């Protein structure tokens, strides 16, 4: 029996790897082929300047304060994105986080080319015990619209050239999911409200909810059968420019349609809308014992409208089947292959039965 509760112990610890350099490629039916060069450091310290070459060799330079720094270049066939971001999780030793980022983005859409250059500043707070977080953020962007398909359309003509965006956003989220990439239980609920000024002035709000029901699993917690129900509702003001409207169609919104192919059309231009209501019900089940391959049965349904209303003639419904293939060497996001068959659509929609996604999440 020990009489002295105090025991001397020597503990030797070594720091795990906190940084990574990744070279990769992503491809999906919404954005085509996108390369990726990523430098990510989870233990960054912007004040720890290197004083010698040995600081670089040993890994001491720019590290040690628990800050997060990310540098990403994603050149692609249809989309190009370049991003630098910095996060201080404990600003002035408080529970408030600070986020700073700058980005450059270009994309060739069906009816115009779009270039965005801008930055973002955010302050956040998280109540870990309640899985609750909130943030306030400012975004400033210069949006350049060129090569319009129909310059005579007023909604498109008014945005050609440079447009200034200043957005002030408040968001609150409750997240109890067990995984951000292939969740099997829990829920995610987020509300975003933004007021935009600049070349155009309009309010904007988006409510996004997802619930994951674990229906069955093996005794070792593998082989999970999961039912997912998700819904997204968005509204934006009457002065919203065409490039900030809501659009639907493609892997990330409504499968069974081309990218933005389930959106309002005026004079053969996909103009988007001020209102969106997009929903998914999906059943995921294992096809292999190692959980590398899952099957899914789903139904996507909803609409995007020019005005804040739901018109039956524009409502879309697309049931389908697909596969989710998880390759450990390619990261946690699964490869997704889906076949969707629209049973309700609008006359101006562009349909696409097969959609795929490799390297990005839905």
pTM for the model: 0.88
Close Cβ partners of 175 (under 8 Å, ≥ 6 residues apart): 131, 133, 186, 187, 188, 189, 190
**Exposure class string for 275-305: b at 16+ Cβ within 10 A, else e:** bbbbbbebebbbeeeeeeebebebbbbbbbb
Structure tokens at 121: 């500043």
H helices within 215-289, ranges in order?
none
Rounded to the nearest 5°, which phi and psi values hold at 281? -120, 125
| Residue 154 DSSP class | H
Question: Would you give the end-to-end CA distance of the chain in angstroms?
Answer: 59
Region 99-123: mean pLDDT is: 97
Average pLDDT over residues 186-201: 98
Please check the confidence at residue 348 and state whether its pLDDT lies above 80: yes
pLDDT of res. 42: 87
Q: Is the CB of residue 187 less than 8 Å from the CB of residue 213? A: no
What pLDDT is recorded for position 47? 81
Q: How far is CA 200 from CA 17, 168, 239, in A?
A: 46, 13, 6
Arithmetic mean of pLDDT, 316-343? 88
Q: Residue 78's closest CA among 53, 113, 102, 49?
A: 113
CA–CA gap between residue 343 and residue 317 (Å, rounded): 6
Q: How confident is the model at residue 118 (pLDDT cuts 50, 70, 90)?
A: very high
Ranges of each domain in the chain: 18-108, 182-358
Please determine, for residue 275, whether its predicted confidence score (pLDDT) is greater than 70: yes
More confident residue, 320 or 13: 320
Q: What is the pLDDT of residue 45?
A: 81
Best CA proximity match to 234, nearest among 334, 295, 167, 303? 303
Mean per-residue pLDDT, 262-273 = 96
Give the SS3 label for residue 91: helix
- pLDDT band at 170, cuts 50/70/90? very high
**119 burial level (CB within 10 Å; 0-12, 13-18, 19+):** middle
Q: Is the pLDDT of residue 362 over 70?
A: no
Asked if pLDDT for residue 17 goes beyond 80, the answer is: no
Distance in angstroms (rounded) separating the CA atoms of residues 262 and 4: 73
Helical (H) or strand (E) element with 54: helix 53-58
* Section 205-230 average pLDDT: 96
Average pLDDT, the chain: 90
Whether residue 169 is predicted with pLDDT greater than 80 in this model: the reply is yes
pLDDT band at 91 (very low <50, low <70, confident <90, very high): very high
Read off the pLDDT of residues 43-85 as tens digits, 9 standing for 90 and up.
888 888 787 777 666 677 778 788 999 999 999 888 999 999 9
Is there a contact between 156 and 111 (Cβ–Cβ < 8 Å)? Answer: yes
Q: Residues 264-270: what's their mean pLDDT?
A: 96
The percent of residues in the chain predicted with pLDDT above 70, rounded, is 91
**Topology of the domain comprising 182-358:** Porin (2.40.160)
Closest by CA to 256, choosing from 304, 311, 301, is 301
If one compares 197 and 38, the residue with the highest pLDDT of the two is 197
């Amino acid at each position: 029996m020990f009489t002295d509760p105090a025991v001397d112990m020597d503990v030797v610890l070594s720091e795990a790897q906190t940084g990574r350099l990744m070279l990769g490629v992503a491809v999906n039916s919404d954005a085509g082929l996108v390369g990726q060069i990523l430098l990510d450091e989870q233990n960054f310290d912007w004040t720890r300047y290197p004083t010698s070459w040995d600081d670089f060799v040993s890994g001491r330079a720019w590290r040690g304060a628990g800050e997060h720094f990310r540098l990403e270049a994603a050149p692609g066939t249809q989309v190009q994105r370049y991003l630098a971001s910095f996060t201080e999780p404990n600003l002035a030793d408080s529970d408030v986080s600070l986020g700073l980022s700058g980005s450059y983005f270009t994309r060739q859409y069906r009816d115009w080319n779009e270039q965005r250059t801008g930055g973002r500043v955010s302050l956040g707070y998280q109540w870990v015990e309640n899985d609750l977080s909130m943030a306030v953020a400012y975004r400033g962007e210069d949006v350049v619209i060129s090569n319009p398909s129909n310059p005579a359309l007023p909604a498109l003509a008014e945005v050609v050239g440079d447009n200034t965006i200043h957005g002030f956003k408040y968001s609150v989220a409750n997240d109890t999911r067990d995984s951000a990439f292939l969740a099997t239980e829990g829920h995610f609920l987020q509300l975003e409200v933004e007021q935009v000024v600049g070349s155009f002035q309009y309010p904007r709000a988006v409510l996004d909810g997802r619930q994951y029901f674990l229906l069955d699993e093996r005794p070792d917690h593998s082989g999970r059968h999961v039912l997912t129900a998700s819904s997204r509702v968005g509204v934006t003001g009457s002065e919203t420019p065409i490039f900030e409207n809501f659009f639907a169609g493609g892997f990330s919104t409504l499968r069974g349609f081309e990218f933005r192919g389930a959106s309002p059309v005026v004079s053969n231009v996909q103009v988007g809308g001020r209102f969106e209501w997009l929903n998914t019900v999906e059943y995921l089940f294992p096809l292999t014992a190692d959980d590398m391959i899952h099957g899914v049965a789903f139904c996507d349904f909803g609409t995007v409208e020019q005005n804040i209303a739901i018109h039956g003639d524009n409502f879309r419904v697309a049931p389908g089947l697909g596969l989710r293939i998880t390759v450990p060497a390619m990261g946690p996001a699964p490869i997704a292959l889906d076949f969707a068959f629209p049973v309700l659509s609008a006359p101006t929609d562009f349909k696409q039965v097969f959609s795929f996604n490799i390297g990005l999440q839905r």
